[in-house]
Amino acid sequence: MVNVPVHTIKFLDYDEETVLATENVYDWECATAPTDPTREWYTFTWRSPEFSDSAKVYADATYVAEYTENETPETPTETETPTETPNP
């Protein structure tokens, strides 16, 4: 009987503490990334290091979600209503 190594693949959020998913994968098989995470005011861009569902696993690995900040829409300034000066 041959013992095939099993590797732990972790997917962490941007804070590097929140675990989004953990997967145990046999040597030279592929891991599957979880659903892209969400974060208010940000857009998920990729995982660091770069992750591919078709890449073969040969060691334990940790991937961290990276985001780009969404552009904040400019707050419209209130238009002042001119006050009428009473005629004397």
Q: What is the pLDDT of residue 72?
A: 76
Measuring CA to CA, how many Å separate 85 from each of 67, 78, 79, 81? 53, 21, 18, 12
User: From first to last of its 88 residues, what are the pLDDT tens digits of the chain?
Assistant: 789 999 999 999 999 999 999 999 999 999 999 999 999 999 999 999 999 989 999 999 999 999 999 987 666 656 655 566 666 6
27: tokens are: 């040597």
Q: What is the pLDDT of residue 74?
A: 64
- CATH architecture assigned to 6-69: Sandwich (2.60)
The amino acid occupying position 69 is E
Q: What secondary structure letter does DSSP report for 55? A: S
